[in-house]
Amino acid sequence: MTAQLAAHGRLVADVQTKTTGNGTSMAFARMAVPLPCRTSDNGETTLWLGITAFGKQADFLSRHQKGDLISVSGAMQVNQWTGQDGTTQSGYSMVAESVISARTVRGGGRKPANTRGANPAPAGSDDFEDDVPF
């Protein structure tokens, strides 16, 4: 059985990329996801989540950098390892099936063209095709 997770948070480091032996793109990232927590002073705690993506999702994730907001969904995993002090440590990660940019401002944005008398764009077309991870 697989646990599916959808998370929305901020990248805490730049995305690391590599190519697998068979030529598939692979990307690794870490994100901070704020969660409500009644016992915390400020009412929330942070879930630190590792993200691994392959193929087109990896290519899309690699266009992001530290500080960017993203939404990710996929299969959740719990990892355990032995720390340098000999204690068992654990952390959470996921294999991304979907990566969506949550950027609200685009750098170098274009001004809308004067559309007076011009033909309107076809239905369903917009300026966000770069942000859709198909």
What is the pLDDT confidence band of residue 125, given thresholds at 50, 70 and 90?
very low
Q: Is the pLDDT of residue 60 over 80?
A: yes
Beta bridge partners of 99: 72
Q: What pLDDT does residue 41 have?
A: 85
Please state the separation of Cα 28 from the chain's center in Å. 10
Q: State the CB neighbour count (10 A cutoff) for residue 72.
A: 24
- The answer to whether the Cα torsion of 106, 13, 33, 63 is positive or negative is positive
pLDDT digits (tens, 9 = 90+) for 101-122: 886 555 555 544 544 444 444 4
pLDDT digits (tens, 9 = 90+) for 66-80: 999 999 999 999 989
- Nearest-5° angle of CA 45, CA 49, CA 50? 160
Question: Using CA atoms, how far apart are residues 34 and 83, in angstroms rounded to an integer?
Answer: 25
Burial class (CB in 10 A: 0-12, 13-18, 19+), 54: middle
Tally of helices (H runs) and strands (E runs) in the chain = 1, 6
The residue-averaged pLDDT of 88-107 equals 83
**Stretch among 5-14, 34-43, 119-128 having the lowest mean pLDDT:** 119-128
